[in-house]
Structure 1
Amino acid sequence: MKTFAIIFLLATNIFSQNEVSAQEALFKHKQKLWQHSRSLNRTSTSDNPQNKYDALYYKLELDIQFNPKLLSGKVTGRFQSNTNVLDTLVLDLDNAMHITSVSGPVKSYHHSNQKIEIELSQSLLLGDIIEIKIEYTGIPDSGNDRWFVFDQLIDGSPHVWTLSEPYGAKYWWPCKDFPADKADSVDIIVTVPQDQIVASNGTLQFDIIAGEKRTFHWQEKYPIATYLVSLAIGPYAHFTDSYTLPDNSSMLLDYYVYPQFEETARAVFPNVKNHLDALTFYFGSYPFSDEKYGMAQFGWGGAMEHQTISSIGNVRESWEYVYVHELGHQWFGDALTCASWTDIWLNEGFASYSEALYAEWAGFQGLEPGFDSYKSYMGTQKYLGDGALTISDTSVVSNIFDRIVYDKGSWVLHMLRYVLGDEAFFESLRTYVSELKYTSVRTEDFKNVCETISGKELDAFFDQWLNYPFFPRYAFSWEQASSEEKKSLIQITILQEQSYPVYEMPIDLQFIFPSGNDTVIQILNNRVEQIYMMEFSEVPLSVNFDPDGWVLKSVQDESGGSYSSEIKIENIYPNPSNSDVTIVAKYWGQGNLELQVFDYLGREIKKLKPFYASTIHKYYYKWDGLDEHGNRVADGIYFVSPIVKNKAVSSGRKIVIIK
């Protein structure tokens, strides 16, 4: 069927975004995972003295006692100067840990405010390398309940576990605790009572029993961020499996669960092989294949993507997508780690999108594998809330791990797949992994790969979806513009109702015809109001806007409207509001319609004139929360009504103002 589109552009930027209630998160553990850390602050500035050196290597030698509880440690660090004159080395260590000695080329040291300031005996030049050993002892801060936990199992058996994301490693070992600086490798040597098993990162070098003590030596030979270093210690039921890699070699699958969960784990965990099949298909080879992939049960109710050994809070079949999420992190979060928590969506958004890809691979909720399963799963992650995906304030930990980075992050990848097409999109993902794995990355790195592979300029795409709250609010209408023999001209009008930004996105329009045929036309929408003219051989019965749900949005079909004498206030948003309020009214009359804001006593507060009138009889108003004299109104309930012939014509719609 022959079609064409003529585009008429109105280059005007307008409107405010509607606040729409979001769906509940699919996995509640994602939302509660970081509630405990809302009061934790950290400042990172460009003149941070820790930027003057790189951490190359750590060796952790830990002795853990349960009765009484005590952590004793020796941590050896190897560091390289990034500056011409380095005379002080600053490391992170919580004050609850008491330093007994600092050895190496050290003149003196001072430990306070969770920092160790080490004055070197001789200044280092650019590229110089030193090695420093810190010995310490203590009980990790009892005021925290996540970083390092002395716990117990249901039978009272002792249990230790760690969860150090984002700034928690310093609570149990001295280090440079920031994700941009990965150590090239880490040795983790842990001594525990004989009846305990230690699971940790990398490969097990030895497990030695000496008297009543047992020592495990784990070695992670790949670069690793400090928050991904992990301990899971307890009288575990331990079992292994193997996964056949593309080259027909085997990779260790290593599992540690509480004894009462062993039977369930042996039934559920074999599906991890299917998870690996799916994610290696989409992302490329598992990045730590010559070490292992494992899961270790721990006492936290969620899960955590520790490198090569994910920690999991439960063992059950219904947790399959949690397991997929943590496995996805082995590529995105572990092999590639966000260099700054500002870009945490590079970790969590990608891992969440792994879940949707697995649904496409394996099927979801009774649907066969394929696009319908994928689309259904993306629906569970639809995020229609406030907030920008780029986290501007990372000093408050709860800002970093808000639901937006999981769900909207996943939707950004979903939309990018649509913009690039499957071939370029998946090639971009695999190239991003292969070229940048084992490094710390930023959004710009991912964008550059996508632009190189696709040949598309993506500045606008990433800017609009990462740096602004909410999403586009579309209103559209269609009508027959003219009809001649064997052809009909159809006019499509699309309006973006949010105030900023004006989104630039392709949009699919599906036309359904009386003959039973349908056709999909993709248009580019990048203006406040656009009119598209399309010619068909028959008049459509209906038009579906973005029928496959590729764009995160709200949409309202204004087609088929007829003249009405009623003046209708259609929307007020956000409401309640602590900032500007946008009001949308429908009015078929002539001239501009004014609105009146008044309080609960009926006193006029302010008259509003429309700042934009669309071709589909919609009028848009902005109230800044000020009265006619420029004074901010008090918190409370206000009303807005249309004014006709200088009189309000209805009792009005309610607006709630909060501070």
Structure 2
Amino acid sequence: MEMTRKAVPDFTKRINFMKKNLTILSLLALSLTSAFAQTEEKADTAWKHEYRATPEKTHALIHTKLEASFDIPNSQLKGNVWLTLKPHFYPSNTLVLDAKGMEIGYVGIQKGANRTKLDFTYDGLLLNIKLDKVYKNNEPYTVYIQYLAKPSEFKSKGSNAITDARGMYFINPKGVEKNKPTQIWTQGETEATSVWVPIIDKTNQKTTQEFYLTVPAKWVTLSNGKLMSQKPNTNGTRTDYWKMDQPHSPYLFFVGAGDFAVVKDSWRGKEVNYYVDKEYASVAKKIFGLTPEMMTFFSKITGVDYPWVKYSQITGHDYVSGAMENTTATLHSDAAHQDARELVDGNNWEGTIAHELFHQWFGDYVTTESWSNLTLNESFANYSEYLWDEYKYGKDRADATHYSAMQGYLGSGSEKKDLVRFYYSDKEDMFDAVSYNKGGRILHMLRNYIGDSAFFKSLNLYLTTNKYKTAEAHQLRLAFEEVTGKDLNWFFNQWYFGAGHPTLDITYSYDDASKKAMVVVKQTQKDKLFQLPVAIDIYNGSNKIRHQVWVKNAVDTFSFDAAVKPDLINFDGDKILLGVKKENKTLEEYIHQYKYAGLYLDRREAIDFVAKKQDDAKAVAFMKEALNDKYSGLRSFALTKLDLKKAAVIEATVESIAKKDPSRITRSRAVEILGNLKKPAYKALFTSLLNDSSYTLSAAALTALEKIDATAALAEAKRLSKQPMKGNLVEAIATALIKSGDESSFDEIIESYSKMGVTQAKFNLTSSLANFLGIIKNTEKVKRGVDEIVQFRNAIPEQFGVTPVIDSFLKTVIGKKETAKKSGEDVTALQEQIDYIKSKLKS
């Protein structure tokens, strides 16, 4: 699963971290980080003594047959389910099923065409069934249950990654929300499938399935497996029959239905489909179209061809996470929807698409046997984003992904959490920066240690040995050991069954008398020492000599022969270590590192250090070179570090980037910098970029123009507001209109705000909108603006800690209205506005 990032994730995608967007708000990302860090402090500490064992298997699921029809306005499912099971080992005459918040109408044993009623008890969560006899483990039996599921009435607890756990979601079921379609979709992870179908809702169960779904005839459906038939009914509905012949876990069950456009693709003769809102049908292949190539790539590196009968992806409105890897039927947040102009800047959902697809191997084909072992699902999916970027776009792009994910973990306050965790407050707590980001970085280190060939052969052995089964981390270790011939207990004990990361203080020196280069490495973290196989590279000019060493002690000293003082000693030459390091390199050494070591992180470290020295002419010359880096991400990074007050000689270079850099994102950064100079000479440039096909570049140009000619910027904002717009451009236009203080612009502003997703840009705009509402006199407009802000606030999970921040914006509006009352304005209208705002506050 991808956290609302990229989970991890940022505030939206994969929170992509995410489960599953570590891309929404930087503030929310910070709140998420804080939530991760504080989880243990807020929880009852009794959980620290409760070992989370793999669920005991008393019965084994074999097959699930479901007939489901939907009462859409009332958000209910009317179901008939036949579960075929057998005792796992010991004979049994009782069966306990997970069934949350249902009305159970009938339970019986099904034998051929005959059905016999069974006694049962039900407490709203567990359905305890007395079977008709004692069954042995070689005796399958089928239980029939007639029931009514009421998921919208079930009160559930979500998590940082999955913000709600009702299992089945009816979106706009009464059709009262304009501009939002009516849809049904399900979210089973962790144990929410049992809100809409009685089941043994545990990861260590595997079952085949048949689903008969009755929906309005104009709708399309999606479920696991293959669509076998469609039968029109006389009442304006249609029944679709989906069949899944390969076993998978109940949390991966999926039902999706609505008035979607279905854009067809294929991979080696298998169906590949993209279910999107109809307005995005024309760009669906631009969003999802790399899927077949990803399937080929992942099949190649794992040595296991995509193992399922088809692969479909569907977008759901109001989704409670980033994306979810339901077997053969991945569900994405509607944040995946991007129009053609957004895609000019690149597909910001591509990493999530790769993440969820890789789950079809790691998570669906082989599944974690317990949430304690979630790393077997999520760490691999997280690392797939690196693997895909490396293959498709090159090592710089992949290493940038690696660095970002590592920072997500390091900033999460998760130093005390093991990767494989047998003690936790709630299973939902496993979906964090450790299971995702840290786990992915650990795989990266393991790959570097054993080599690519052994790494991918080990993955193949793990997958083929455990196919259609569940596994724990030890089985992964055994696969790596069998392939490599190495005892890897030290690695798994340290990284999988241990917590934390190294914090290293590294000093370099050279003894001219003994002709020795010295590297002293101190581990300064508390509680444990790490064993770290590390490459140390010694440079003289472009010549590099590599030394492989092991860091094991609190202080390790390494000495190397060197005829002359090295130009650079580079610890962790492959830049793969997960940890924090402090080094005593000089300006000259960092410049040498940038030029000759050359990896993404080598260059980023150099830019970061040298940017602090822009009083030095050598640093300024270096920054000019960095602005021409081969990788656009580092050109952008260098721009963010540039101080034109100290490096005025580089202004012409920045102007050149703004005009013609291949990356519009990088051009946007350059425009922002030039805008901050407030020079009228750049007005023509900014004006020329307002109509660029990139929303991001157009937005940067409008914001820059406002700083030198507010009147012209307002006129352009009004013109642009009449055109389709998304992304940063919405924020830039609305900001310009708000600054004007012109109440006649309210409709354009509020429409723009309303159409924005749950994004950083919308959060940035909320404070400005609140200030604007403070000066608006029309009560109905004030109420509508407040309603939009409240709707945005309520769409953000409370655990992100943003609710009081947005409420503080609303309280600012109250303060302005109170001040206006004192000045003798329309007291009655103002008091009505104040009372209305107060009624909407949560904090």
1:381 matched to 2:399? The reply is no
Instruction: After TM superposition, give the deviation of residue 544 of structure 1 in Å.
Output: 1.3
3-state SS in 1 of match to 2:202: coil
- Per the alignment, do residues 47 and 324 of structure 1 end up closer, same or farther by CA in structure 2, a change over 3 Å counting? closer
CA contact (8 A) 2:19 2:322 kept: yes
Which of 109, 119, 135 aligns to 1:124? It is: 135
The yes-or-no answer on 1:232 pairing with 2:256 is yes
When residues 253 and 207 of structure 1 are mapped into structure 2, their CA distance, relative to the original with a 3 A threshold, is same
Q: Is residue 10–residue 16 contact of structure 2 (8 Å, CA) maintained in 1?
A: no
Q: Which residue of 2 aligns with 1:525?
A: 551
The AA in structure 1 aligned to 2:259 is: P
Matched, 1:73 2:79: yes
> Cα 1:395–1:113, aligned 2, differ >3 Å: closer, same or farther?
farther
Q: Percent identity?
A: 24
- State the distance in 1 between where 2:145 and 2:132 align: 16
Give the structure 2 partner of residue 396 of structure 1. 426
Change in CA separation of 1:323 and 1:156 when aligned onto 2, cut-off 3 Å: closer
Cα distance in 1 between the residues matched to 2:360 and 2:91: 37
2:171–2:182 CA contact under 8 A, matched in 1? yes
Query: 2:52–2:423: 8 Å Cα contact kept in structure 1?
Result: no
Query: Mean alpha-carbon deviation: is it higher for 375-384 or for 153-162?
Result: 153-162
Counterpart among 118, 122, 135 of residue 146 in structure 2:
135
* Residue in structure 2 matching 1:29, options 15, 37, 41: 15
More strand per residue:
1
Output aligned runs, 1:61-460, within 5 Å: 61-104=67-110, 107-142=118-153, 143-144=155-156, 146-152=166-172, 154-155=178-179, 157-183=181-207, 185-211=208-234, 212-244=236-268, 250-289=269-308, 291-299=309-317, 300=319, 302-313=322-333, 314-316=336-338, 317-363=347-393, 369=394, 371-382=395-406, 383-384=409-410, 385-386=413-414, 387-394=417-424, 396-460=426-490
Structure with more relative contact order (C-alpha pairs < 8 Å, separation 6 or more)? 1
After TM superposition, the structure 1 stretch with the greater mean CA deviation from structure 2, 528-537 or 131-140, is 528-537
Pairing 1:619-630 to 2, within 5 Å after superposition: none
Partner of 1:11: none
C-alpha distance after superposition, 1:512-554 (max 9, x if no partner):
22x5422121101222222223223333233111133111011
| 2:591 is aligned with 1:557 | no
State how far apart, in whole Å, the 2-side matches of 1:103 and 1:53 are: 15
SS at match of 1:253: strand
Q: Structure 2 CA distance, aligned partners of 1:525 and 1:333?
A: 34
Say if 1:67 and 1:540 are closer, same or farther in 2 by CA, change over 3 A: closer
1:555 Cα deviation (Å)? 1.5
- Aligned-partner SS, 1:381: helix
- Tell me, yes or no, if the aligned pair for 1:102 and 1:109 is still in contact at 8 Å: no
The corresponding residue for 1:494 is: 521
Question: 545-554 or 223-232, which moves further after superposition?
Answer: 545-554
Q: Structure 2 counterpart of 1:123, which letter?
A: V
Name which of structure 1's ranges 375-384 and 225-234 shifts more when overlaid on structure 2.
Answer: 375-384
SS at match of 2:246: coil
**Contact 2:98-2:200 at 8 Å conserved across structures:** yes
Q: Secondary structure at the match of 2:96?
A: strand
The structural deviation recorded for 1:40 is 12
Q: Which amino acid aligns with 1:428?
A: S
* Offset, 1:435: 2.3
Which residue matches 1:652? Answer: none
Work out the number of aligned pairs and report it: 521
Q: CA RMSD in A?
A: 2.8
Q: Which of 489, 492, 506 pairs up with 1:462?
A: 492
CA distance in 2: counterparts of 1:426 and 1:473, whole angstroms: 29
1:537 matched to 2:563: yes
1:221 match: secondary structure: strand
Deviation for aligned residue 1:481: 4.5
1:76-127 deviation digits (Å, cap 9, x = unpaired): 1111112333121111101334333333476411111411111122112233
The CA deviation string for residues 320-347 of structure 1, in whole angstroms up to 9 with x for no partner, is 1111111111111111110100011111
SS at structure 1 position matched to 2:556: strand
Deviates further, 444-453 or 393-402: 393-402
- Aligned to 2:289, the other structure's residue is in SS state helix
**Structure 2 length-normalised TM:** 0.58
Deviations 1:240-292 (A, max 9, x none): 11123xxxxx1111221121221221333222122223222222334334x11
The residue identity in structure 2 corresponding to 1:450 is: F
Q: Which residue of 2 aligns with 1:568?
A: none
Q: Is the 8 A contact 1:333 1:346 kept in 2?
A: yes
Distance 1:45 1:404 in 2: 17
In the alignment, the residues of structure 2 paired with residue 478 and residue 124 of structure 1 have an alpha-carbon distance, to the nearest angstrom, of 71
Q: What code does the residue aligned with 2:455 have?
A: F
CA contact (8 A) 1:40 1:396 kept: no
The TM-score with structure 1 as length reference comes to 0.74
Determine the C-alpha separation between the residues in 1 that align with 2:16 and 2:306.
24
Residues 25 and 546 of structure 1: CA distance in aligned 2, closer, same or farther (over 3 Å): farther
Q: Distance in 2 between matches of 1:23 and 1:170?
A: 27
Give structure 2 stretches of 5+ with no counterpart. 1-7, 21-31, 111-115, 157-163, 339-346, 587-843
